[in-house]
Chains A and B, each alone.
Chain A
């Protein structure tokens, strides 16, 4: 089956963006994702488990995230780990570029200091 274009997912809702960003560096379980989002947003954006798994369900269904299952030796056997899929990485990269363009445009209009994107 042909892989959908990354652009077809854009723009990403904030929750999706934050979840993808949280697992971009390493595989994380649900609680780890929530804490990473809280850290990345400096506490400004917080998700509850219900919202997290609702969005994870969508990401899993669309193939942007993979369920890596449980890990041996984990202190809590209920934990499952999630990984960014190659498609998820493409979508995140495309969204990051879109946001960079948006930020550059904003800086230009507001005459804020900062490097202009090519």
Chain B
């Protein structure tokens, strides 16, 4: 490469007019050989060629000192050899020299061979490149491979498919089916959502928004709360005392244990189990109670960010007024401010949801979980999180503290 650059410089020196080249050429090469960086010298030589070719007349005699305007400094003229005489022809020569330099550079880069660049696609398709068929079917393949990464696969895309299929409002608003709610689609959100009001009551409930829980009719061989209590005791009562302590139950049922242990003695009796099953979910036969369904519907509306945004007052339904303001409400989810809602902005956040679940301990609605409110089955179940949220246990715990404690817990589990 060093030799190529020196040869290029030598060639550029030779492009100077003969008198100049004869007089200073060897010295210029001598300086090149003594200098370190080639780039500034090559630039200087290129400028020098143009200067000598355009403004210095090789045929002109050295100007006599007697000539010239005495008021004009002798060094001030651009072309003291020939002025601008024959400027056009010199410009043409300069252009030719520039072209020659460019060609020389290309040849230099190609190490003496004019490099060939064929740009194409190994698997051309008209949809990808709007090129004519002849060029697509050229027998020779591309000589230069430019590897483009595979089309970006958004790991959230599979989630998006499932989520848009679950939440009918999202599918209704997303008219082009790209699982992105763009600004135009958001503008027409109200009309799109109104079509989901299948019962024509003017508002959307959880079922119309995609909730499927409780759809199935009671099972023909439904078990009663009594059957359920018996089954649990039969399966897990290892010491045969007719009750269940927490250590007898698998971990997944510990929440049930805490919730059903009405007297808080740590031992679930058959009566407590039956009462809990009847009160919370089960009546005489398999199937949720009306209260349970209402709460489930409200939870469903509350944990889905899009539905929670639409249900501004949090009453579990999207009213006519809330439907009218749908676009405005949905745009509150646009965290990055790009005007569109992507799946990342629509999917529920596990931490936020669990925080909301824990904050249900706040039965007096003052926004905090008091010491008394912690003494419920759910409070006892979440004791570890609540202790972490407020180690002193002597005051009310607010939502941010709960959220931070949950994040810390997840971080310790997943080693974030």
Using CB atoms and an 8 Å cutoff, list the residues of chain A in contact with chain B. 1-2, 4, 8-13, 16, 29-31, 34, 46, 48-51, 53-54, 56-58, 61-63, 76, 78-80
Q: Are B75 and A53 in contact (CB under 8 A)?
A: no
Contacts of A80 in B (CB 8 A): 27
Contact of A12 with B75 at beta-carbon distance under 8 Å, contacts A50-B28, A50-B45 already known? yes
Least distance between B188 CB and chain A CB atoms (Å): 65
User: Quick one: which of B30, B31, B44, B76 contacts A13, CB cutoff 8 A?
Assistant: B76
Q: Are B51 and A9 in contact (CB under 8 A)?
A: no
Write 17 A-B pairs (CB below 8 A) sorted by A numbering: A1-B65, A4-B65, A8-B73, A9-B73, A11-B73, A30-B28, A30-B30, A31-B30, A50-B28, A50-B45, A50-B52, A54-B48, A57-B20, A58-B75, A76-B34, A78-B27, A78-B29
Contacts of B31 in A (CB 8 A): 30-31, 34, 49
Q: Are B20 and A53 in contact (CB under 8 A)?
A: yes
Asked whether any CB of chain A lies closer than 8 Å to the CB of B214, the reply is no
User: Quick one: which of B29, B30, B33, B56 contacts A54, CB cutoff 8 A?
Assistant: B56
Contacts of B52 in A (CB 8 A): 50, 54
Q: Are B27 and A30 in contact (CB under 8 A)?
A: yes
Assembly CA distance A80 to B24 (angstroms): 9
Asked whether any CB of chain A lies closer than 8 Å to the CB of B41, the reply is yes
Contacts of A79 in B (CB 8 A): 27, 30
Contacts of B74 in A (CB 8 A): 4, 8-9, 62
Contact of A53 with B80 at beta-carbon distance under 8 Å, contacts A9-B74, A34-B31, A61-B62 already known? no
Contacts of A78 in B (CB 8 A): 26-27, 29-30
Q: Are B41 and A16 in contact (CB under 8 A)?
A: no
Contacts of B252 in A (CB 8 A): none
Assembly CA distance A16 to B49 (angstroms): 19
Q: Are B75 and A13 in contact (CB under 8 A)?
A: yes
Q: Are B28 and A49 in contact (CB under 8 A)?
A: yes
Least distance between A110 CB and chain B CB atoms (Å): 26
Asked whether any CB of chain A lies closer than 8 Å to the CB of B100, the reply is no
Asked whether any CB of chain A lies closer than 8 Å to the CB of B382, the reply is no
Using CB atoms and an 8 Å cutoff, list the residues of chain B in contact with chain A. 20, 23-24, 26-35, 40-41, 43-45, 47-49, 51-52, 56, 62-63, 65-66, 70, 73-76, 80
| Further 12 A-B residue pairs, CB within 8 A, beyond A50-B49, A53-B48 | A4-B66, A8-B73, A8-B74, A16-B75, A29-B30, A30-B27, A31-B35, A48-B48, A50-B44, A62-B74, A76-B33, A78-B26
Assembly CA distance A51 to B43 (angstroms): 11
Least distance between A78 CB and chain B CB atoms (Å): 4
Contacts of A31 in B (CB 8 A): 30-31, 34-35
Contacts of B26 in A (CB 8 A): 78
Least distance between A96 CB and chain B CB atoms (Å): 16
Assembly CA distance A56 to B23 (angstroms): 11
Contacts of B30 in A (CB 8 A): 29-31, 76, 78-79
Q: Are B73 and A53 in contact (CB under 8 A)?
A: no
Q: Which 4 pairs, one residue from A and one from B, show the smallest C-beta to C-beta distance?
A: A50-B48, A48-B44, A53-B24, A78-B30
Q: Are B62 and A50 in contact (CB under 8 A)?
A: no
Least distance between B13 CB and chain A CB atoms (Å): 9
Assembly CA distance A104 to B36 (angstroms): 40
Assembly CA distance A61 to B30 (angstroms): 22
Contacts of A8 in B (CB 8 A): 70, 73-74
Contacts of B23 in A (CB 8 A): 53, 57
Contacts of B20 in A (CB 8 A): 53, 57
Contacts of B65 in A (CB 8 A): 1, 4, 62-63
